[in-house]
Amino acid sequence: MGMTMTQKILAAHAGLDKVEAGQLIEAELDLVLGNDITSPVAIKEMEKMKVDGVFDKDKIALVPDHFVPNKDIKSAQHCKCVREFAYKNQITNYFEVGEMGIEHALLPEKGLTVAGDVIIGADSHTCTYGALGAFSTGVGSTDMAAGMATGKAWFKVPGAIKFNLVGKLPEWVSGKDLILHIIGMIGVDGALYKSMEFVGEGVKSLSMDDRFTVANMAIEAGGKNGIFPVDELAVAYMKEHSKKNYTIYEADEDAVYDEEYTIDLSQLRPTIAFPHLPENTKTIDEINEDIMIDQVVIGSCTNGRIDDLRCAAKVLKGKHVAKGMRCIIIPATQAIYMQAMEEGLLKIFIEAGAVVSTPSCGPCLGGYMGILAEGERCVSTTNRNFVGRMGHVDSEIYLASPAVAAASAVAGKISCPCRL
């Protein structure tokens, strides 16, 4: 009985020849990640351990990105805690305002995540790095503390679901539509504690930004991680961004999967997740009524990358957001911000009546920079639309791609570019 990609990575990091689903292992870590919300809790837990510093100052990344620049005194105190810990322990990969970005876009860009790595982060969307063929997963702050102290973590080896992708995505359809389609198909617990492994000829038609988006939302289906095979595109990305050595793992032909699905990318349509769960999906063709909206957010660790901004700009160019509409656009990192500026995308956004923010997770978790009032509706490229996620408990969030979000900003209601 063979192993999946994820199982091979975990076996190698546990010093074992073979692992099976359900097996408990202790694995060596290549990177431990924390942000301004989760790191202070982990730091306090480390203090209780009375350990003498971190296991490796080069293998910890601290990225304040949720309430940064600080929105209030409490967030300032949290960031001060992280900053002082980083300085005290000489953390190499600590990113202050001006250098920081949204963590799950920043780390691959900085070359800190590569194929074959085992990565834990005290943030549920740490599964993003599976786009590069790494095993990465979210953990609690206590596990983060243990990881920073010892460089190790306990795992129960996950089973796997294979998603065989065929065909190519049509115009105005992206990785966001693919993962929303999958979550709508299997549900928010359809991959509970399983590895979501994406394979097939269709993978090569997905950009790296598409793959980051798909892997990012594996957790929204309950997945332990999402992972893609390492092809020429992934290798090119790593060579451009990283100096780290990487290891390519391939699933055995006789690897065991709990379920298998085949998805024809060419048949996908722009897909929207209605309130209040990511599984509550409809295609644009299934919406038979005008759903008026108040706000659009384009950004986040899911869809704040350069491809996303280019797509939004393509829709918004020469148009203007609807009267009374608030359209907030957030590049995910400083480098993406700069690239968008150099390409003229920011000019397009501002002329269209949108605002452009410094990198921040703020609106996604109802923190700041886009809080919703009672009864308001938002189309957002973020990853969660739970009750009260972006503000008032009686507000509504519709998850969508940058193309749908931008078109909706122009129309003042849920729409897509083909309808403008």
- Residue 237's pLDDT is 97
Evaluate if residue 420 carries a pLDDT over 90.
no
pLDDT band, very low/low/confident/very high, at 418 (cuts 50, 70, 90): confident
CATH of segment(s) 273-419: 3.30.499.10
pLDDT band, very low/low/confident/very high, at 136 (cuts 50, 70, 90): very high
Cα separation of 194 and 130, whole Å?
A: 13
Evaluate if residue 257 carries a pLDDT over 90.
yes
Whether domain 5-264 has CATH 3.30.2310.20: no
Identical fold, 5-264 and 273-419? yes
| 333, 106 contact by CB (below 8 A) | yes
Question: What's the average model confidence in pLDDT over 393-397?
Answer: 96
Q: How long, in residues, is the chain?
A: 420
Cα separation of 10 and 120, whole Å?
A: 12
Cα separation of 3 and 19, whole Å?
A: 8
Residue-range domain boundaries for the chain:
5-264, 273-419
Percent with pLDDT over 70 in the chain: 100
Question: What's the average model confidence in pLDDT over 4-18?
Answer: 97
Reply yes or no: is the peptide bond before residue 69 cis, omega within 30 of 0.
yes
Cα separation of 39 and 79, whole Å?
A: 9
Read off the pLDDT of residues 320-368 as tens digits, 9 standing for 90 and up.
Answer: 999 999 999 999 999 999 999 999 999 999 999 999 999 999 999 999 9
Question: What's the average model confidence in pLDDT over 303-331?
Answer: 97
Evaluate if residue 201 carries a pLDDT over 90.
yes
Which token pair is 192? 């509970």
Residue 323 CA from chain centroid, whole number: 31
Tokens 């971190």 — which residue? 54
Read off the pLDDT of residues 203-253 as tens digits, 9 standing for 90 and up.
Answer: 999 999 999 999 999 999 999 999 999 999 999 999 999 999 999 999 999
Question: What's the average model confidence in pLDDT over 162-166?
Answer: 98
Angle (CA) 90-239-228 rounded to 5° is 95
Q: Mean pLDDT across the chain, nearest whole number?
A: 96
Evaluate if residue 419 carries a pLDDT over 90.
no
Cα separation of 217 and 78, whole Å?
A: 27
